[in-house]
Amino acid sequence: LMFGAVNLVVNFGTVFVDQAYWQTALACRTPSSAVWGFIMGGLAWFSIPFAMASAMGLAARALDLPLTAAEANKGLVPPAVAVHMFGPPGAFLFACQVVVAVMSSGSSEQLAVAAIFSWDIYRRYINPEATGVQIIRCARIVICLFGIFSGLLAILLHTGLGLSLGWIYSSVGVFLGGAVLPIVFCLTWRHASGIGAICGAVGGMMFGITGWVV
C-alpha cells in the first residue's frame, strides 16, 4: 500500500514535470491524437513494469534467493533471478535490457533539456537573432554537457553517497510532486500566473522535503 501511494505521487511528478512528454504532445497534429496516443501508450507501458515486477518478485520469493534487504533496495532482484534461472546468458540479456531502457529514456531527456536551453533560454534571452545552425549547435553542446553531468551525478549518488535505488525513487516524488498541481492549474485555470506556478512548485517541494526529513 505504501509503495502504491509513493508510486502514484512519483509517476504524476515524472510525467507532468517531464519536458519530453510535453514535446511529444506538442508534436501531435491534433489534441485528440495526443490524448489517444498517451492513453494507448500508457496502457501498453503498464504491462511491462507490472508483469516484470510481479514475475521477478514472485520468482525471487519462490526460489528463496539469498538477497538481503539492502541488495533488494539496490534493485538487484531482477538480475539475481535472471542469473539463477538462465546463468550467464540471463545476465547478458538483462544487461542488454537495462542498456536499451537507459538509452531510450536518456536520449529523450537529453533532447528535452536541449530544447529548453536552446529555444527558451538561448534564443529568447541570449541571442534572439540566432539562426537555425546556431540553435542546433547550442542544442548539441547542451546534450553533451547534460550527458556528462547525468553520468557524474549517477556515480556520485550510487558510489559516493551510497544511496539505494529505493531512496532515489522516493526522492523523485518529493522533489517533483509539488509541481503537479501548479501545472494543472496553468492548463485549466485562466487566472493562473507564471509567478504563482513557480511559487507553488518551489513551495510544494520545500514542504515535501520538510515533511520527508522531519
Contacts of 88 (CB under 8 A, 6+ apart): none
* pLDDT at residue 192, rounded to an integer: 87
Long-range own/partner contacts, residues 114-117 (CB < 8 A, 24 or more apart) = 114/138, 114/139, 114/140, 114/142, 114/143, 114/146, 115/19, 115/23, 115/139, 116/19, 117/142
CA distances from 122 to 88, 108, 110, 129 (A): 48, 20, 16, 10
Q: What pLDDT does 83 receive?
A: 92
Which pLDDT belongs to residue 166? 74
| pTM for the whole structure | 0.75
The whole-number pLDDT of residue 1 equals 66
Residues of the chain with pLDDT under 50: none
What's the pLDDT tens digit per position in 44-72? 888 887 888 888 889 998 988 888 888 88
**Domains of the chain, residue spans:** 38-82, 87-157, 164-214
Cβ neighbours for 6, distance < 8 A, ≥ 6 positions apart = 169, 170, 173
